[in-house]
Amino acid sequence: MRRSSQLELAIRAGTTQRYMSFLEQGRSRPGRAMVARLAESLGLSLRERNGLLLAAGYAPVFGESSLDAPELRAVRKALDGILEGHMPYPAVVVRPYGELVAANAALAVLTHGAAPELLEPPVNVLRLALHPDGMGRRVENLAEWGRHVIESLRNQALRSPDPRLDEFIAELEGHVPAAGAGPDHLGLPCPCGWRATTGSCASSPP
């Protein structure tokens, strides 16, 4: 339960530890309202809340649409405006775990020279950023920045356990050289030191 004790989760969900114990043992079946409260207490995303409701035998509450759906036209227009507003600097829109949804034209500056297979849809920008045949070879502080990216994904895995995410983290770890935390490490976001062909720049971590 995301490293929460039965008592902690029961308090957040407005129920008792005894009831939480019955749920874990399968001795009690939660009602729809309780499932929703548990999802809220666990900080689940809307998609995860739908999944929890389905697992409990209830219909999902939150609708989900493709970004290309007519009802999301205004959202897509807003995202396109944000991407264009970042020009001439690269900007991307990604799904969970780094899958590319959209990007502005300046992204080509960062992906120049990357292996073609890493640029085939669906592109994963985190894999592209750390892979030695992608952008990884041009990141000056790959060990430190890569560790920050991986630790961020590990935190997601703690909040939302997913075997696929665990596999992805293991894959990325294989691309990042080992690095000690060092005396100055504070666990704060680490900027990426980028080697460009005509100079260098720094970008914020994802």
Distance, in Å, from the CA atom of 115 to the CA atom of 153, rounded to the nearest integer, reads 24
Three-state secondary structure of 23-81: HHHCCCCCCHHHHHHHHHHHCCCHHHHHHHHHHCCCCCCCCCCCCCCHHHHHHHHHHHH
Name 30's Cβ contacts closer than 8 Å, sequence gap at least 6: 23, 38, 56
Characterize 33-61 residue by residue with b for buried, 16 or more Cβ atoms within 10 angstroms of its Cβ, and e for exposed.
ebbbbbbebbebeeebbbebbeebebeee
Q: What is the pLDDT of residue 196?
A: 52
Q: What is the pLDDT of residue 205?
A: 42
pTM over 0.85: no
Question: Which residue ranges of the chain lie beneath pLDDT 70?
Answer: 1-3, 179-206
Say how far apart CA 176 and CA 147 lie, in whole Å.
Answer: 7
pLDDT cut 90: percent of the chain above it: 33
Q: What are phi and psi of 163, to 5 degrees?
A: -55, -35
Look-up of token digits 């000690």: 180
Q: Is 194 helix (H, G, I), strand (E, B) or coil?
A: strand
Q: What is the pLDDT of residue 41?
A: 85
Q: Which residues pair with 192 in a beta bridge?
A: 203
Model confidence pLDDT, tens digit, residues 134-183: 999 888 888 888 998 999 899 888 777 788 999 999 999 999 988 655 55
- pLDDT at position 46, please? 83
What is the rounded average pLDDT for all residues in the chain?
83
Look at residue 3 in the predicted model and tell me its pLDDT.
Answer: 62
Q: What's the pLDDT score for residue 191?
A: 62
Interatomic CA distance for residues 203 and 199, integer angstroms: 13
pLDDT for res 166? 93
Output the pLDDT for position 181. 56
Domains and CATH numbers, the chain: 6-55 (1.10.260), 86-203 (no CATH)
- pLDDT on residue 43: 81
Residue 190 has a pLDDT of: 59
